[in-house]
């Protein structure tokens, strides 16, 4: 197989794009670096295509290795034929290869292998020839001390044929496709001692759906029910039609004396060997597809969460709510520094409400705080009322928002949190995380295992290795898309920068602590363990605001500094002019008049690089997240009892799942906008309409306080 041509064909790109991208990957370049700084080589492939290419390249190379291994193993048995070699080389999937190798794979002792040991294989082949001879007469020749009767000989021959029929790659492929296309996945309540969680799966107690049409979230739900012992699951298919298909494939002649035995072997082989094997195959395929889908949704939600707009210029009051142990309160400076902390006890059992209000008022006034963030855990609702009273009675300029605190406890007990705040109680560290999340979601959330952030669906039911890899790629992509301020970034953030390992990231932090702030990007070369390749991969994604070189605060890579200076010279400016706000406005106007193609030709450079440099020079220090809408701030509190059908409110999308979106409208429970209520037009999937962090207008459809359910709609009123 020509892997380059295969990649080009599958991804819809030109062969030279595939070839150059593969060469760059093989040379140790990271995907963010290739996507951003090697556009001429790749023909401007975006990061998503490059990542798909890298994954597919790995699969195709594994496929080629497996082909070589299977060829070697079969050849060692002296059973390799030109036709089989051609089939192996033409295989396009690992499953197809496994089907081809199946007849030659060493097996534990089976009924067929024991029959072969008794010398019954020639009898099986004679039956398959479907001659006019009487099978019983043929079988008489094989009666021995080990095979006492002709009937026993025929049974052994049928066992051999049953295994042969079901091991045949063409038969397996045919019946697998038929089962997938026409089968029903059926689930029923498991008998007797099912677990207490069984009621969660009530809708699947008597359930069936087309195998080919069942949606991913239902597959994962059924799998979970089966794993917990609440459900029994099977695939039902028309067995008679399968028998007919196999009869046609084997070409059983109804007039042959051997037909009865061949039919019996066919039916036994299917029921005993093929059906269970294919059911496992198909359910594994369904599960893999469902897991990949769930991981994709999780990844998209995580990206949207990480890429939320930072709230700049606010000093924040962060509150981690609780009842008996009190609410942990922190005051955080606008750059994330801890100014002050305390604990208040406004709720049960102490109920020191007035005292808590006074403490908060003093904190807000003394530290000049302008925003409150409240964790959405235990006592969140009551704490929200406290803050609403604080705004109403004492601090009318203050605003608040409720933050999804998922993962805050994970962070607070982590090694990183202990290093950041060695003298703080775990719960105070959690409040710091809650406060900082609004200031810079990306910088704070990268400190937490993505699986603990709370924007997934069925994250515990999917392949954990695949989930971890994909979410790690999302974090890497987001960090490098935004860029990282070299002099303030934590090691947790730096380790996701292209080309940097966790160890090198810590070395950067140590270097900064010992030598002071970095004054220019080139100083990175002095960091222990950061060699030329790591510098090449990382430098463009690291920013230095107010350093010696203004270009260090842009996305221009150091390798392109000479080109950037030439472009500035063309319009009559120098690098230092980028630091003057008034001059920068003039530079921006003149850059807008340039035609990248003409500049590229004049300077003998690549047009994509010139285009990117012009964009970067126009906006030094640009953060792409600043162009996104800010979070929704509140000044008063609602309860479920306040909600009435028909009310229209603004809310923030908290999570997106296959069947809809959960929207925070300022009450204790997020409301669900079912997929059917997301838009006036048909919605294929909720992610086509909304994403985590979106501010949306919703209409109350129904409120069920006893069940804690709120049904919402984003449709226009009828």
> Which pLDDT value is given to residue 194?
54
**SS3 state of residue 166:** helix
Burial, 500: exposed, middle or buried (Cβ in 10 Å; 0-12, 13-18, 19+)?
A: buried
3-104 sits in which CATH class?
A: mainly alpha
Burial, 300: exposed, middle or buried (Cβ in 10 Å; 0-12, 13-18, 19+)?
A: middle
Domains in the chain: boundaries: 3-104, 112-295, 316-463, 479-627, 640-713
Q: How far apart are CA 531 and CA 28, in angstroms?
A: 13
CB 33 within 8 Å of CB 498: yes
- Average pLDDT (411-418) is 92
Using CA atoms, how far residue 145 sits from 117, 149, 247, in Å, is 13, 9, 34
**SS3 state of residue 119:** coil
Residue in the structure block whose two tokens are 């459900």: 231
CATH of segment(s) 316-463: 3.30.420.140
Q: How far apart are CA 73 and CA 50, in angstroms?
A: 34
Q: What is the arrangement of strands in the sheet containing 316-320, beginning at the earlier edge strand?
A: 338-344, 327-332, 316-320, 371-375, 399-403
- Average pLDDT (160-180) is 96
CATH architecture of 479-627: Orthogonal Bundle (1.10)
Q: Measured in whole angstroms, how far is the alpha carbon of residue 666 from the centre of its chain?
A: 28
Helix axes 561-570, 607-618, angle to 10 degrees: 70
- Average pLDDT (138-166) is 95
Tens-digit pLDDT profile for residues 241-255: 999 999 999 999 999
Using the predicted structure, report yes or no on whether residue 60 has a pLDDT greater than 70: yes
**Percent of the chain scoring above 70 in pLDDT:** 99
640-713: in CATH 3.10.450.50:
no
- Residue 78, sorted as left (phi over 0), alpha (psi -120 to 50) or beta, turns out to be left
Shared fold status for 112-295 and 479-627: no
Using the predicted structure, report yes or no on whether residue 43 has a pLDDT greater than 60: yes
Record: fold of 112-295: Tex N-terminal region-like (1.10.3500)
* Tokens standing for residue 67: 């082909």
> Which pLDDT value is given to residue 294?
92
> Which pLDDT value is given to residue 471?
92
> Which pLDDT value is given to residue 192?
62
- Average pLDDT (209-229) is 94
Contacts 24+ apart (CB under 8 A), 223-228: 223/287, 223/290, 223/461, 224/458, 224/461, 225/187, 225/198, 225/200, 225/201, 226/187, 228/194, 228/195, 228/197, 228/198, 228/201
> Which pLDDT value is given to residue 638?
75
> Which pLDDT value is given to residue 581?
85
* DSSP state letter for 634: B
Tens-digit pLDDT profile for residues 538-591: 999 999 999 999 999 999 999 999 999 999 999 999 999 999 888 999 999 999
CB 169 within 8 Å of CB 99: yes
Half-sphere exposure of 294 (CA within 13 A, CB side): 26
> Which pLDDT value is given to residue 639?
78
HEC assignment per residue over 466-501: HHHHHHHHHHHHHHHHHCEECCCCCHHHHCCCCCCC
718 — pLDDT class (breaks 50, 70, 90): low
CB 359 within 8 Å of CB 374: no
Tens-digit pLDDT profile for residues 360-399: 999 999 999 999 999 988 999 899 999 999 999 999 999 9
Burial, 470: exposed, middle or buried (Cβ in 10 Å; 0-12, 13-18, 19+)?
A: buried
> Which pLDDT value is given to residue 306?
93
CB 549 within 8 Å of CB 511: no
């Amino acid at each position: 197989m020509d892997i380059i041509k295969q990649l080009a064909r599958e991804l819809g790109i030109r062969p030279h794009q595939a070839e150059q991208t593969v060469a760059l990957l093989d040379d140790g370049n990271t995907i963010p670096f290739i996507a951003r700084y090697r556009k001429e080589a790749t023909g401007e492939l975006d990061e998503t295509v490059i990542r798909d290419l890298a994954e597919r390249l790995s699969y195709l190379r594994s496929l080629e290795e497996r082909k070589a291994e299977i060829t070697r193993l079969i050849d060692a048995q002296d059973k390799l034929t030109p036709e089989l070699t051609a089939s192996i080389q033409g295989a396009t999937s690992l499953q197809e290869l496994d089907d081809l190798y199946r007849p030659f794979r060493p097996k534990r002792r089976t009924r067929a292998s024991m029959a072969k040991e008794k010398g019954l294989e020639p009898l099986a082949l004679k039956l398959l020839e479907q001659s006019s001879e009487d099978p019983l007469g043929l079988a008489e020749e094989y009666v021995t001390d080990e095979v006492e009767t002709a009937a026993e000989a025929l049974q052994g021959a049928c066992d051999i044929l049953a295994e042969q029929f079901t091991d045949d790659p063409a038969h397996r492929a045919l019946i697998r496709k038929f089962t997938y296309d026409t089968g029903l996945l059926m689930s029923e309540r498991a008998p007797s001692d099912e677990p207490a969680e069984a009621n969660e799966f009530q809708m699947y107690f008597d359930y069936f759906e087309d195998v080919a049409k069942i949606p991913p979230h239902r597959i994962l739900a059924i799998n979970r029910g089966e794993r917990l012992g609440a459900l029994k699951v099977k695939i039902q298919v028309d067995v008679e039609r399968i028998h007919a298909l196999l009869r046609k494939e084997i070409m059983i002649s109804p007039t042959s004396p051997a037909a009865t035995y061949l039919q019996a072997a066919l039916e036994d082989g299917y029921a005993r060997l093929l059906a269970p094997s294919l059911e496992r195959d198909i359910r594994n395929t369904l599960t893999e597809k469902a897991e990949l889908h769930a991981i994709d949704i999780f990844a998209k939600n995580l990206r949207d969460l990480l890429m939320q707009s930072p709230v700049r210029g606010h000093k924040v009051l962060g509150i981690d709510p609780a009842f008996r142990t009190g609410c942990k309160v922190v005051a955080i400076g606008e750059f994330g520094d801890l100014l002050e902390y305390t604990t208040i006890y406004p709720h049960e059992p102490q109920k020191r409400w007035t005292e808590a209000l006074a403490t908060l008022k003093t904190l807000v006034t003394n530290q000049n705080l302008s925003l409150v963030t409240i964790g959405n855990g235990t006592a969140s609702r009551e704490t929200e009322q406290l803050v609403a009273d604080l705004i109403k009675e004492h601090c009318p300029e203050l605003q608040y928002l409720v933050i999804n605190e998922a993962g805050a406890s994970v962070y607070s007990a982590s090694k990183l949190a202990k290093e950041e705040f060695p003298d703080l109680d775990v719960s105070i560290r959690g409040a710091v995380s809650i406060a900082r999340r609004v200031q810079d979601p990306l910088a704070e959330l990268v400190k937490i295992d993505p699986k603990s952030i709370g924007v997934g669906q069925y994250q515990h039911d999917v392949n954990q290795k695949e989930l971890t890899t994909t979410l790690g790629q999302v974090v890497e992509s987001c960090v490098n898309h935004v860029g990282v301020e070299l002099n303030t970034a934590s090691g947790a953030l730096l380790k996701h920068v292209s080309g940097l390992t966790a160890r090198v990231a810590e070395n950067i932090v140590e270097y900064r602590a010992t030598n002071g702030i970095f004054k220019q990007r080139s100083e990175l070369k002095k960091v222990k363990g950061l060699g030329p390749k790591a510098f090449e991969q990382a430098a463009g994604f690291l920013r230095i605001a107010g350093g010696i070189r203004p270009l260090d605060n842009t996305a221009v890579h150091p390798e392109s500094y000479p080109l950037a200076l030439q472009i500035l010279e063309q319009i009559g400016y120098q690098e230092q002019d980028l630091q003057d706000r008034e001059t920068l406005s003039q530079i921006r106007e003149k850059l807008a008049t340039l035609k990248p193609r003409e500049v590229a030709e004049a300077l003998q450079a690549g047009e994509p690089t010139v285009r990117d440099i012009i964009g970067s020079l126009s906006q030094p220090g640009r953060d792409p997240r600043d162009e996104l809408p800010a979070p929704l701030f509140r000044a008063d509190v609602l309860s479920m009892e306040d909600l009435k059908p028909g009310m229209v409110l603004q809310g923030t999308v908290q999570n997106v799942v296959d069947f809809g979106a959960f929207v925070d409208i300022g009450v204790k429970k997020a409301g669900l906008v079912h997929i059917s209520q997301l838009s006036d037009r048909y919605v294929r999937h909720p992610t086509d309409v909304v994403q985590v962090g979106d501010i949306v207008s919703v209409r109350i459809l129904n409120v069920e306080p006893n069940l804690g359910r709120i049904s919402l709609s984003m449709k226009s009123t009828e």
